[in-house]
Amino acid sequence: MEFNLTAYYKTPIGIAKIVGDKNGLQAITVLDEAIEITEEIPEILKDCTQQLDEYFKGTRTSFDLKLNPQGTDFQQKVWAELLNIPFGKTCTYLEQSKKLGNVKAIRAVASANGKNPLWIVIPCHRIIGSDGSLTGYAGGIWRKKWLLKHENPSTQQSLF
């Protein structure tokens, strides 16, 4: 019998709970409550924490991890499509629905995005409203804003 391993990892925007086993990562969620971080990261989760470290330091723009998110076939398709959105770019729910072949599935697509179990790695934070608004994000709109700014920082031009 396979057991999931869990680690609590400190990020600049909250404690991430990372869950996985030899078949891959099943969940990365951000917690609002203060919880003790894991001192000794389980070997199977070390690659994830290393890549998240690099992401938050600004040296990683894509992830190379074995993923095993649990969801319906439709949710899996939606999450797979999210992986095609490049670092520093955004996509609307409508564009995502079109890419999945059903413009009328926009609400179902939005719902599946909201159930994305792999925070940051499957980049649902890159989905915005058609009017450019930062709509729904399970981790909170302030985190979505932070992540988008982290991935696409505005460069201050010198006046002199």
In a domain, 158, yes or no: no
Residues 6+ away with beta carbon under 8 Å from 27: 17, 18, 19, 20, 69, 117, 118
Helices 106-114, 73-82: inter-axial angle, 10-degree rounding: 80
15/80 same-domain check: no
Question: What is the per-residue pLDDT across 22-66, written as a single tens digit (0 to 9) for each?
Answer: 999 999 999 988 899 999 999 999 999 999 999 999 999 999 999
81/120 same-domain check: yes
53/77 same-domain check: no
In a domain, 90, yes or no: yes
33/84 same-domain check: no
Q: pTM of the prediction?
A: 0.89
90/129 same-domain check: yes
What CA dihedral angle connects 154, 96, 137 and 7, to 10 degrees? Answer: -90
Rounded Cα gap, residues 122 and 109, in angstroms:
14
Query: Which class for 109: exposed (0-12), middle (13-18), buried (19 or more C-beta within 10 A)?
Result: buried
Catalytic residue, chosen from 124, 127, 128, 148, is: 124
Total structural domains in the chain? 2
What does the pLDDT average to over 1-24?
A: 91
Rounded Cα gap, residues 133 and 150, in angstroms:
17
In a domain, 66, yes or no: no
In a domain, 115, yes or no: yes
Q: Mark whether 48 is an active-site residue.
A: no
83/112 same-domain check: yes
Residues 6+ away with beta carbon under 8 Å from 131: none
In a domain, 83, yes or no: yes
93/146 same-domain check: yes
Question: What is the per-residue pLDDT across 83-128, written as a single tens digit (0 to 9) for each?
Answer: 999 999 999 999 999 999 999 999 999 999 999 999 999 999 999 9
Cα 83-85-86 angle, rounded to 5 deg:
110
47/86 same-domain check: no
What is residue 157's predicted lDDT score, i.e. its pLDDT? Answer: 53
The CATH number covering residue 113 comes to 1.10.10.10
Q: Which domain holds residue 96?
A: 73-151
